[in-house]
Copies of this chain bind each other. A is one copy, B any other.
Amino acid sequence: MSITTVGLDADDTLWHNETIFRLTQDRFVTLLAEHADHATLMARLAETEKRNLRLYGYGVKGFTLSMIETAMELTGGEAPAAVVREILAAGREMLAHPVETLPGVDQALAELSESYRLVLITKGDLLDQERKLAASGLGDLFAAIEIVSEKDRQTYDRVFARHGTGADEAVMAGNSMKSDVLPALAAGAWAVHIPYFITWAHEVAEAPASHKRYGALSNICELPGWIAARC
């Protein structure tokens, strides 16, 4: 069984993302500090995000709208205009934030692209993800880009059929057990978990430690060697 295709997640696998969300959350908590304590603010924001996920999906714009909505709820519907303005500005800054690739990414992808077809498979906002890929300078290494609204078994089936030689001969690598690893294994692909130092609460899941197509790495620079060892 040879591996022909490597699927790669983007946010927190190739570049920093969650840290930027966390910084903005901290700013949100500071802005509303007089209305509720830290734990309440975080819990209410997470509730609003979860409730809105079906309508807004993933990404900065939905997160910004959810922050404004939470601010309204926590102030009895009377959030000061200055708070709303600050949240709007924070959202715009997130979208304009420079893209910083994670250590080892450039080297690992350059090496992988010599032997395999690389496919970027990511959730999130279409325009924002395209912008980040362009800013990362990694775009030319990918044979295909798939920005999807959900990462489930069907998604990996479809993407690896379209851009490769099927899930059976593909490996998916990413920082989310729930979105990158488990559904890719379910589709019959190999899957590698490369954790980021923080994980969004919605993305936590248990490792399929005993699955024979599963691998756990601590850094993306180990990925070319891991794949080569499967062949």
A-side residues, CB < 8 A to B, are 52, 55-58, 61-62, 64-65, 68-69, 72, 75, 77-82, 84-85, 88, 91-92, 95-96, 125-128, 130, 147-149
Report how far A92 CA is from B72 CA in the complex, Å: 15
Query: Interface residues of A: mostly helix, strand, loop or mixed?
Result: helix
Which of these, B57, B69, B79, B91, contacts A127 with CB under 8 Å? B57
User: A77 to B85, Cβ gap below 8 A?
Assistant: yes
Query: Which B residues are CB-close (under 8 A) to A64?
Result: 65
Nearest Cβ in chain B — how far from A201, in angstroms? 20
- Nearest first, the 8 closest Cβ-Cβ pairs linking A and B are A57-B127, A61-B61, A78-B81, A55-B95, A127-B149, A126-B149, A126-B126, A79-B81
Report how far A128 CA is from B88 CA in the complex, Å: 21
Query: Which B residues are CB-close (under 8 A) to A149?
Result: 126-127, 130
Of chain B, the residue at the smallest CB distance from A75 is B81
User: B91 to A65, Cβ gap below 8 A?
Assistant: yes
A-B contacts, 20 listed (Cβ < 8 Å): A55-B95, A56-B95, A56-B127, A57-B127, A57-B128, A58-B127, A68-B68, A68-B84, A68-B88, A69-B88, A72-B88, A77-B81, A77-B82, A78-B81, A80-B81, A81-B81, A84-B84, A125-B125, A126-B149, A130-B149
User: B57 to A126, Cβ gap below 8 A?
Assistant: yes
Report how far A130 CA is from B120 CA in the complex, Å: 20
Of chain B, the residue at the smallest CB distance from A147 is B126
Report how far A52 CA is from B80 CA in the complex, Å: 23
Which of these, B55, B79, B80, B85, contacts A92 with CB under 8 Å? B55
Report how far A65 CA is from B56 CA in the complex, Å: 13
Query: Which B residues are CB-close (under 8 A) to A69?
Result: 88
Report how far A77 CA is from B84 CA in the complex, Å: 9
Report how far A56 CA is from B58 CA in the complex, Å: 13
Report how far A78 CA is from B96 CA in the complex, Å: 25
Other than A56-B95, A68-B68, A79-B81, give 5 A-B pairs with Cβ distance below 8 A: A58-B127, A65-B65, A72-B81, A125-B126, A126-B147
